[in-house]
Structure 1
């Protein structure tokens, strides 16, 4: 029995020594960011109408959306770049005030239809906004700028993040007086293109130039390095 216990203790010690050796690593985080000019805009517009009759409210909304779609087609927007993302019909209530003791009742209906539109020609963006708002759309939920092909910028940001993580690991190794070993693992923590947003107040001035600015595409990685003997 004593021999068995001794063998178990030796196995535990060896296992702990191996684990301690395996833990000789340096783990760093790296960040990368690339600034690039956008080449696409996504706008969110809609048509909303109220009427005592539900069918009339929906008919007026549908007519407005048809006019917007026609304008977009005339402006060269492809059908694949236009998507309906919400259609709703809600009752309009009256008599719901705090001081009103009369029972609430439905006095009409509000119909709404919202569209998401991608504009791939930024030079035409201001004119398209003016067209659709002046000829049907009466709600505007803002716009964002993006990239039609984000991969090159994302690749560049990711490569910068890896370089940053390696540089940080080398600094840590130098400061600790150890030799940085080979990479054991790399994992990506996530990245994104931060869009430039145009708010509703600015969008009301449709005849004003629209400034696209730049997008920041970011990446983050985690790298585990071994510590060389």
Structure 2
């Protein structure tokens, strides 16, 4: 019988070593899930001719931002400094670099445990001095349970493939695999980026769905 008659044949290997006849197939499982955590990267940027003044202004605005976030219910452990930079600002005139002042940027990573609340957090941040956003990302707080579902799907698909191959050749397979290995696991994070913040009202933040993918290779015996 021609291999092209079965769509699974290109993923299959058969072996007969004299001990056990086997079929090797690959299975894939995909589970989609809505993320339940949003991580915002927001910050304060201040400019001044004097570096100390730029730092002091940044400290005042940063305190205002942090106080507002805490009043909104964001726990201190979910607000983390990820960078603090001081950058000289130059203007080039006649090929000469003239120091104009200093820029201080303090960036925070804010973990929001309720996706529906992310827009409100964004709004409060803007209203309380945040003028920089480096992006946001979504994640699933407990992805393992979804990966286990994807793993089960992958194994079920492998069994179906093995049965399809066996029936093509009028063979019977043992549905319990002789062995199987996980070839890959994919737990992606969805990423979206913003430029400088301008919004004065809570923007709609849509999370979409994330895909959890498991791929296995299984070996089945047949008669």
TM-score (norm. length: structure 1): 0.76
User: Which residue in the other structure is 1:192 paired with?
Assistant: 187
> How big is each residue's C-alpha offset from its partner over 1:107-155, in whole Å with a ceiling of 9 and x where there is no partner?
2221111111111133332222111112111101222222222222222
The whole-number CA distance in structure 2 between the counterparts of 1:47 and 1:84 is 11
Cα deviation digits, residues 80-123 of structure 1 (max 9, x gap):
1111111111111221xxxx543323322211111111111333
Aligned equivalents of 2:198, 2:163: Cα separation in 1 = 52
Residues 119-130 of structure 1 correspond to what in structure 2 (within 5 A)? 119-130=112-123
Kindly state the Cα deviation for residue 203 of structure 1 after the two structures are TM-superposed.
6.9
- The counterpart of 2:96, out of the listed 84, 98, 103, is 103
The residue aligned with 1:216 is 210
2:122 and 2:202 in contact (8 A); partners too: no
Q: Report which of the two has the higher share of helix.
A: 1
Distance in 2 of aligned mates of 1:33 and 1:185: 18
* Equivalent position of 2:9 in the other structure: none
CA contact (8 A) 1:31 1:218 kept: no
Given that 1:178 and 1:227 are in contact with CA atoms closer than 8 Å, whether structure 2 keeps it comes out as: no
CA RMSD of the aligned region, Å? Answer: 2.9
What is the total number of aligned residue pairs between the two structures? 207
Matched, 1:112 2:109: no
Unmatched runs of 5 consecutive residues or more in structure 2? 1-14
For residue 201 of structure 1, report the CA deviation from its aligned partner.
6.5
Q: 1 CA distance for matches of 2:51 and 2:26?
A: 57
**Equivalent residues in 2 for 1:27-46 (5 A)?**
27-46=24-43
Instruction: Quote the Cα distance in structure 2 between the aligned partners of 1:22 and 1:92.
Output: 75
Tell me whether 1:86 sits opposite 2:83 in the alignment.
Answer: yes
| SS across alignment from 1:85 | strand
Q: Which moved more, 1:64-73 or 1:149-158?
A: 149-158
Q: CA deviation at 1:52?
A: 1.7
The 1-side partners of 2:18 and 2:156 are apart by 26
Look at both structures and tell me which one has the larger radius of gyration over its CA atoms.
1
TM score, norm. by length of structure 2: 0.78
**Superposition deviation, residue 24 in structure 1:** 5.6
